[in-house]
Structure 1
């Protein structure tokens, strides 16, 4: 899930945060990447014969379309896929889905479709970062295919707020504790939902996960693949599982890394995700104590949590100055703290940012918050903070009323997470302003008859707790569980050779590990 969205609004499940941090803060020189194979090699695939047959006659023209790949960024190739805006009216309006391909570097085996999570993160950016995200065995064997799911990136993007409004939204207090703060909170949540409807029109009704999964099957056919080979991270696991339910006979090899329990309601998802971030924060503080002669946060985990809590109280009362004449407000500070928790390798960034904040500067925490929100010096680089709201609220419009966030509800969340619990409790109100209405009926995900699906979880994953992967593997008829013992969000290419070998052997050779396998 790259994003929890605004923790303020609604739960998000994103892997893309950590690779965005990697790209932005990589302090080492890049090694020259091997040149892609000749384009002629890419077309002489060893993949199975094409199956472009459509599930219904009115979709035939979409399934039989040919992609017009053109060089777009160096050795990368771009194209667009045409799909119906509304699959219930396939002969009506259409939209274009943006695609990006990283050609295979060696003997091409086929196409690997990838999704980084969110929902809302552009998959084209994920594929463009393939040399950092994926290891050489996959880069050599597969064309890495990223797509911006409908409503995101360059695929009929959802728009809800101006940049100035979005700045204010992300800076606002995610944990209102006075009547005035609650009124301001309710106003900004309502403004967000109304803005999506006013600025995006009918598109806001057609960005559901089910519709994005239908788009993936059109993409599979257009790529010339008889079955889908896919690696989805975080929310991308929900997208992949949805695909498997809708098209079980088209499931080839699916890796669902950082899995989401698709059976949970928003309340239970929120409680368990809050607990995950609490575990990650405690692990970060314990690591500080274990590795530093004197941890700047304190001599115990409880002292460290108290130091961070006191800092946040101070920032809420008196925002810190940041570069470019900006102020680090309480909402920004929460995102700045959450972002490095996605990946243990970037805990050093959190330490640097907290030290700086304790010394009176909000610049470093603001930089981390900006990465989380995809905000650059000139404004937002994608619409992920808006798309996540529209997609999540269309998938599940249920919402707690603002007056229902009472002491009992907050207490339940704070039992799971003393640090983040109340924020997640308030996030249950996030879809109160949503005005989208889907034409897709809800589905129960079992994927009966599908080929084996690899479901991956990490013991101390802050955003998608291990129990979610365990549950999804049970829910899928052919789910196979792979568990990583470690910190951070998602498991692949995180330094665990056992995990990486198992995933690569499955994708490349079809070797299905024992269920479960612990690494």
Structure 2
């Protein structure tokens, strides 16, 4: 989270983390952990098709023994109906509050599946693409070939769902006017950075956003935490008829999978956690690791750039980093206006750089953006930023930002001590001197959220669970490799698989070593040797 001379009230940081709020270039900058595939592969996602037909194939729940108050949820029958593209869709019902099932309003959970193409399915393979806030329905329905291999599609029903608060499930809603959300994300405070007036303006904006979320979401806003999603997932496992959970979680999705293994170890079938996170890390430790990770990823891009066509950085890496830092400063001092009324400042640059650094296949967008910015053109820069925010033609096509914030504020505690924040900011600047200039306010948004984190951070063990495959990429800027090492160590049955390469997430790189190991594990239960290293 890099800071700026003129930050605005909110800007999701380009250091996506597992549902953490982190100080950043915007005063209440966010860290997200959304799976961002190469832009060339997934920039165009088909819209949701309506017109589900009546009737359809039904599920057969497991009928397992559960508490009496949970029985209506665990015995419900799903009706799968055609929703286009070979996919089938269904809606499940879950309790609003798992601690008081049936005592309040229930919620809806949207699901999608692609039935096994081989004719006889081994069962369901649940997929979560990350976030928090990413739509599993969109991901599986529209990008199943990107989500899993053809071999896994042959053997399993591939199932995605929108977690509570997200997308087509009962969802978080905040600002209903895109212009209000534009101002919240891209607006620049009128007061001078760091002044009491600036702090008041930023705080007021954060409070207004939180109040809008509470008003437009209602009681659901209190119950969109990840632990509730874990319980939803166990219910979904049972009602699709699987005695054990087969699950592939990407990025933040590894949080869901790890917590599931810790709560329901006896229900673990085959779990793969790719782009793994460490559940013991504090917000500061996440920000510190990601700040260093994205700085290193930028270095990797600049090192490779001169060997490519039309590289805007022909000099050494260190010389190029000086130019990038100067660009941040210039844009903060004199933002470039866009045709739609927004301004391209250092914060937009920050998110644009990060979006492209998620995947090596998107580095060409960085070169194009840097080249354009030399002549005041912001087209590619805003393309990258809008891709991250789910913004198309002035509209927001999903609620991923609102869901991310709501889940984040419930899942983790907030640091409010200004002296501690200042000390932490110095450490962040030390590991990311080019891109980091953190805000002195910390997480002003979650500090003013209507519902606060309750509980404590701690390790997971999954005692008694079947082997769980934890995958880490050595050059991953968003979920640094050491997190995968830590998670594999915490899980009693954790097996570490390492991909030596750049980018966020390993399985989607198509490396035969990684894909073969993961697929063999899911299809036949073959567990790779702990510590297997795949060279990208």
Does 2:122 align with 1:109?
yes
Q: Which is worse superposed, 261-270 or 299-308?
A: 299-308
- Contact 2:130-2:253 at 8 Å conserved across structures: yes
Does 2:172 align with 1:161?
no
Q: 2:132 aligns with which of 119, 144, 153?
A: 119
Cα deviation, residue 170, structure 1: 2.0
Q: 1:363 aligns with which of 363, 369, 379?
A: 379
**Structure-2 residue corresponding to 1:261:** 278
- Contact 1:190-1:433 at 8 Å conserved across structures: yes
Counting only pairs closer than 5 Å after superposition, residues 305-324 of structure 1 correspond to structure 2 as 305-324=321-340
**Structure 2 vs 1, CA of residues 196 and 339 (structure 1 numbering), >3 Å: closer, same or farther?**
same
Cα deviation, residue 439, structure 1: 7.7
**Structure-1 residue corresponding to 2:4:** none
Q: 2:303 aligns with which of 275, 286, 311?
A: 286
Q: 2:91 aligns with which of 55, 71, 80?
A: 80
Structure 2 unmatched runs, 5+: 1-13, 46-55
Cα deviation, residue 427, structure 1: 5.0
Does 2:492 align with 1:481?
no
> What CA distance in whole angstroms lies between the structure 2 residues aligned with 1:170 and 1:429?
14
For residues 294-351 of structure 1, the C-alpha deviation after alignment (integer angstroms, 9 at most, x for no partner) is 8422411122122222222222222223354543233322211110100001100111
Does 2:41 align with 1:22?
yes
**Structure-1 residue corresponding to 2:269:** 252
**Structure-1 residue corresponding to 2:110:** 98
**Structure-1 residue corresponding to 2:513:** 498
- Contact 1:266-1:428 at 8 Å conserved across structures: no
Does 2:208 align with 1:191?
yes
Partner-residue secondary structure (3-state), 2:302: helix
**Structure 2 vs 1, CA of residues 410 and 518 (structure 1 numbering), >3 Å: closer, same or farther?**
same
> What CA distance in whole angstroms lies between the structure 2 residues aligned with 1:310 and 1:433?
34
Q: 2:359 aligns with which of 343, 346, 362?
A: 343
- Contact 1:402-1:429 at 8 Å conserved across structures: no
Counting only pairs closer than 5 Å after superposition, residues 226-237 of structure 1 correspond to structure 2 as 226-237=243-254
Given the two structures, how large is their TM-score scaled by the length of structure 2? 0.87
**Structure 2 vs 1, CA of residues 393 and 454 (structure 1 numbering), >3 Å: closer, same or farther?**
same
**Structure-2 residue corresponding to 1:178:** 194
Counting only pairs closer than 5 Å after superposition, residues 368-517 of structure 1 correspond to structure 2 as 368-401=384-417, 405-406=421-422, 408-423=423-438, 428-437=443-452, 444-517=459-532
For residues 50-77 of structure 1, the C-alpha deviation after alignment (integer angstroms, 9 at most, x for no partner) is 6332532210111111111111123211
> What CA distance in whole angstroms lies between the structure 2 residues aligned with 1:50 and 1:226?
9
- Contact 2:497-2:531 at 8 Å conserved across structures: yes
> What CA distance in whole angstroms lies between the structure 2 residues aligned with 1:259 and 1:185?
33
Q: 1:134 aligns with which of 135, 141, 148?
A: 148
For residues 357-412 of structure 1, the C-alpha deviation after alignment (integer angstroms, 9 at most, x for no partner) is 12211111101100100111141111111111110110113233567643x33211
- Contact 1:271-1:424 at 8 Å conserved across structures: no
Cα deviation, residue 285, structure 1: 0.8
**Structure-1 residue corresponding to 2:343:** 327
For residues 25-51 of structure 1, the C-alpha deviation after alignment (integer angstroms, 9 at most, x for no partner) is 79xxxxxxxxxxxxx9x999xxxx963
Structure 1 unmatched runs, 5+: 27-39
- CA-based RMSD of the aligned residues comes to 2.8
**Structure-2 residue corresponding to 1:63:** 74
Q: How many residues align?
A: 500
> What CA distance in whole angstroms lies between the structure 2 residues aligned with 1:19 and 1:91?
43
- Contact 1:18-1:339 at 8 Å conserved across structures: no
**Structure 2 vs 1, CA of residues 250 and 139 (structure 1 numbering), >3 Å: closer, same or farther?**
same
Partner-residue secondary structure (3-state), 1:422: coil
Given the two structures, how large is their TM-score scaled by the length of structure 1? 0.89
Partner-residue secondary structure (3-state), 2:160: strand
Q: 1:220 aligns with which of 237, 255, 268?
A: 237
Does 2:212 align with 1:200?
no
